[in-house]
Amino acid sequence: MIQLIKGFKDVLPGEIEVWQTIERAAKETFENFGFQEIRLPIVEKSELFSRSIGDTTDIVEKEMYTFEDGRRGHVTLRPEATASVVRSYIQHKMYAKDPVRKFYTIGPMFRRERPQKGRYRQFYQIDAEVFGIDSPYLDAQLIFMLASLLERLKAKDVKAHINSLGCPCCRPNFQKALKELLDAKKEHLCENCLRRSEKNPLRVLDCKVPACREAVVGAPSILDHLCDDCSEHFDTVKRVLTENGVEYEVNKNLVRGLDYYTRTAFEVLTTSLGAQNAVAGGGRYDGLVKALGGPEVPAIGFAIGFDRLAEIVAMQQTIEANGPTLYIAPLGEKATEAAAHWTMQLAARGISCETDFGGRSLKSHMKRADKLKAAHVLMVGDDELEKGMATLRNMTTRDQRDLPLDGLVETLAEQFK
């Protein structure tokens, strides 16, 4: 027997209903805020991710699925969606018509991480990106939109953590102060952080190794080094969140794990999933569009870990598949042929309809209808066909009535529309 690859998973009926509920809620929530859906390829040129995410990140260094594709060179299964959305924004010159664009996308991402609970090599993300607006009001609105989605899904035990990463003007002073601390703590840093401390010391704050986290406990705060513009920007974000009822915590050690973030950074954490506590994360990346060959356009976005969110939603509520509106229980060969015709015609008219062609008894048909959670059962045998009548039963009230077969499809379609 061939089994799936470790680190991948099947999303089966019984679980997929939770996923579908999340997808519908995300689509409706985002579109209420003016977002449009965009669908992107899962394979991109490797250079897109090395230039956007950063050569020194774990993602690029050891987690990407990269392979050679003939004359096209190295290509990669996308490890995240932001770079692909930016690439599309630039390639199709969307900024020329209107630089202000709002997109969302839902789909699989790929990283060759060590498989563990809640973390897969093919995982899914819900991604939202906004281009062309540098206002702190948008930053707050995006966090509010994310909080609204989680509230709609009844996701409990979640809280937003926010920080400012400054800008190219104020970040160097902070990096210098952080570098001095890291130089004094070198013997406590892991091999990755020793390398990061030379190329990008800010990234050491994102390390999950306990010794490294202990080493940076007394690290300077970026918030003490913000320039006036960045400080005012962050104060506005906090004020607007408070005014709109979004609970948050300022976390001075919160940094995003990717190189392109500036100013506002945020994560949504949960206490429901143990160590894997990040549900969503994002922030502002005003320099990425230009870095990838586009114009100087500000941008901000976030990604939600779909797999983790599905776990949380499933813990908080039971979501089951809806049964068919109608189950047709035919008794006899001619009735089975008629049931096949009615089922197809009703389904084509938008009525969820099931039947069985196995020659079951009426008792077996009713058990099958109960198992499928059918709302109604239409019972018809060869004798009823001769009489031109069938019996419709409401499976909740157990009331039943006779229906003429002449114009049956139209009658049922009208009743169940």
Write down all domains in the chain, each with its CATH number in brackets: 16-170+226-316 (3.30.930.10), 326-416 (3.40.50.800)
Query: Between the CA atoms of 410, 412, 415 and 416, what dihedral angle is there, to the nearest 10 degrees?
Result: -110
pLDDT for position 58: 57
pTM of the model: 0.86
pLDDT in tens, the chain (417 residues): 999 888 889 988 888 999 999 999 999 999 999 999 999 999 999 889 887 776 555 555 558 888 888 777 889 999 999 999 999 999 999 999 999 999 999 999 998 877 666 678 899 999 999 999 999 999 999 999 999 999 999 887 788 999 999 888 888 888 788 887 777 777 777 877 777 777 777 777 777 788 777 777 777 888 888 999 999 999 999 999 999 999 999 988 887 656 668 899 999 988 766 655 788 999 999 989 998 999 999 999 999 999 989 988 888 777 777 889 999 999 999 999 999 999 999 999 999 999 999 888 999 999 999 999 999 999 999 888 989 999 999 999 999 999 999 999 999 999 888
Q: Which residue has the tokens 């062309």?
A: 132
Query: CA-CA distance, 310 to 296, in Å (whole number)?
Result: 37
Q: Which amino acid appears at position 294 of this protein?
A: G
Put the strands of the sheet holding 299-305 in their side by side order.
36-37, 101-110, 122-131, 299-305, 278-284, 262-270, 158-164, 248-250
What's the confidence (pLDDT) of residue 276? 53
Contact at 8 Å (CB) between 40 and 179? no
